Structure 1
Amino acid sequence: MSSKNSQPTEPETQEELAQKEELNKKIKEQKILVDELSNLRKNRRVYTQQPNSNIFFLADRGETLSSCKKDLDNMRKEYQDI
């Protein structure tokens, strides 16, 4: 037998459910971002926002797309682990 309690208590279940819903929302947003970047023409400009600021810098479309795909994959893995 496992040392963990087989049935989680109600607060843990609610917390996990809320966390799962939040992560699902972020996954949907990330999917849309990946789709939008994938459908851009090659010559379109892409800007990325600096963390914790309102400043945007010109970025490479391909690098931004691959970064967003990696983030999406990480979110999906985290969602499956929950």
Structure 2
Amino acid sequence: TADVIIQTDQPSKIATAINIGNATNKIIWQNIGLALGVKIIVLILGAMGMATMWEAVIADVGVALLAILNAVRIQRMRF
């Protein structure tokens, strides 16, 4: 849980804060799914001898960058 302070006299800001929270939660789950999916694929390929350690590292860094770019979308959303 978290506390939120709204420093205006506009109660409509509460609905906006809830919308931002819902959008953030959606993007978090997208990032988790993307990261787990790529890691499982690389793990399977590594177990079959088709992926090297460097490919796994590049995939991990790539997923981290994609997750960051996906999270930046929140700033561009209009609520």
In the superposition, the TM-score normalised over structure 1's length comes to 0.48
Higher strand share: 1
User: Taking CA–CA contacts closer than 8 Å with sequence separation of 6 or more, which of the two structures ends up with the larger relative contact order?
Assistant: 2
Greater fraction helix:
2
TM-score normalised over the length of structure 2 = 0.50
